[in-house]
Amino acid sequence: METRKIGSLDVPVVGLGCNNFGGRLDAAATAAVVNACLDAGVTFFDTADVYGGTRSEEYIGQALGGRRDEVILATKFGGRVADDRKGAKPEYIHCAVEDSLRRLQTDRLDLYQLHVPDPETPIGDTLAALDELVRAGKVREIGCSNFSAVQLQEAAAATAPGAARFLTVQNEYSLLKRDPEQGVLAECERQGLGFLPYFPLASGLLTGKYRQGQPVPEGARLAATPNPSRWLNDDYVARAEALIQFAEARGHTILELAVSWLLRHPTVTCVIAGATKPEQVRANAASAGWKLTPEELAEVDRIAGAA
């Protein structure tokens, strides 16, 4: 699989989002997905301490066992694990990283990301603590998530000379959710940051399982979410149907379109798609090869609704 750079890391262009682990998937099902990823060359795992109530990290650590060195582990801190375990204050960061290292059964994290901005903590203080972790060898590279273009600029300005700096930003981005095109992607280009799109398949709407005029599949994830109408509304379903027809008319699937469309942007480092079954892993791994022409990209923008 093609790889792209995050600092010292060579990252495959398709990775695994691990927010299903510990929630929808138990330890055995997690291990099945992890093993399928290793077999398919999907070696970038993105998780967070809050996923599955900390069980996502635990299950990944158990599943990897002696194969830790075959993968690039990315996790996040800053979300609410408990009332006294949240945010980005330096003293908490040092506790949070030890917790993640223990759960993941490893001595270092390849990418450690601030999950959400912490308005109560100066970003310079957070960056200084993360730099200490990098210097101690506990973290290789650092990144952030859910940051605006202005917040990325503030982080760059607060980074001490020679210190570790954010190398990635992870925000929601897909064919149907285009907010990063309003400044964040341009700021990534300006700073040389890698962009990691989460929910790249619009929570499954861009996989082809939801079809216009057909009932929602039984047990489908979107139907069980607190706000299914966010994606399962007439507008989004109609656009997804048109994108399915566009892709199939050219011998591709909407999954290939969704992933390849994101990767056409050189700033996008890795598409972190979720999976609950080994066959989904294999489909995701095979989805990155469509090189869309300028004419095809223009038509996709027309169908999906350009930003």
173: annotated active-site residue? no
Q: Which residues contact 290 (CB under 8 A, 6 or more apart)?
A: 252, 256, 257, 260
Q: Please give the sequence-ordered ranges of beta strands (E in DSSP) within 36-178, or none if there are none.
A: 44-46, 72-77, 109-114, 139-145, 166-172
> 75 near 140, Cβ under 8 Å?
no
Q: Which residues contact 93 (CB under 8 A, 6 or more apart)?
A: 77, 126, 129, 130, 133
Residue in 51, 112, 198, 236 annotated catalytic: 51
Q: How far apart are CA 40 and CA 185, in angstroms?
A: 29
Helix (H, G, I), strand (E, B) or coil at 40: helix
> 108 near 139, Cβ under 8 Å?
yes
Q: Please give the sequence-ordered ranges of beta strands (E in DSSP) within 183-265, or none if there are none.
A: 194-198
Q: How far apart are CA 101 and CA 211, in angstroms?
A: 42
Give the active site residues: 51
